[in-house]
C-alpha cells in the first residue's frame, strides 16, 4: 500500500513540475512579445489567456493519448490554432512582426 501511495505521489510531483515548466514557457512567450511588439495590457492579458488555454489543451492531449503518433498529431493541431488566435489580438503590424519572428517568440530563439 505504501508503494502505491509513493508512486501516486511521485507522479503528482512530476505532473506538477510539467505544469510549472509550461507556465514558465508561457510567461516567456508573453515577455518576449511584450518587449518586442509593445503590446498593451489588454493584449497581454488576451495573449496570456490564449497561451494558458493552449497549454491546457496540450496537457489534456498528453493525458488522453498514449500513442506517440496520435499525441504528436493532437499537439500539432492545438499549436496550429495559435496564429489565428493571436491574429485576433494583435494589430496587423504586430502580427506581421510576430509571424516573422515566431521562432523567437515561441522558443526564445532556440529553433
74 grid coordinates? 493532437
What is the b/e burial string over 46-73, where b = at least 16 CB atoms within 10 angstroms of the residue's CB?
bbeebbeebbebbbebeeeeeeeeebee
Domain boundaries of the chain, sorted by first residue: 2-107
Q: Which three cell numbers stand for residue 81?
A: 490554432
Q: Is 111 helix (H, G, I), strand (E, B) or coil?
A: coil
Please report, in tens digits, the pLDDT of each residue of the chain (111 residues total).
544 444 444 444 444 444 444 478 788 888 899 999 999 999 999 999 999 999 999 999 999 988 999 999 999 999 999 999 999 999 999 999 999 999 888 888 664
Q: Does the model's pTM come out above 0.85?
A: no
Amino acid at each position: 500500500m505504501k508503494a502505491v501511495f509513493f508512486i501516486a505521489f511521485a507522479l503528482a510531483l512530476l505532473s506538477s513540475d510539467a505544469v510549472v515548466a509550461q507556465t514558465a514557457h508561457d510567461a516567456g512567450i508573453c515577455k518576449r512579445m511584450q518587449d518586442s511588439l509593445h503590446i498593451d495590457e489588454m493584449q497581454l492579458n488576451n495573449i496570456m489567456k490564449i497561451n494558458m488555454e493552449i497549454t491546457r489543451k496540450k496537457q489534456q492531449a498528453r493525458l488522453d493519448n498514449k500513442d506517440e503518433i496520435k499525441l504528436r498529431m493532437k499537439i500539432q493541431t492545438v499549436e496550429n490554432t495559435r496564429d489565428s488566435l493571436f491574429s485576433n489580438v494583435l494589430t496587423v503590424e504586430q502580427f506581421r512582426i510576430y509571424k516573422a519572428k515566431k521562432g523567437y517568440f515561441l522558443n526564445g530563439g532556440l529553433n
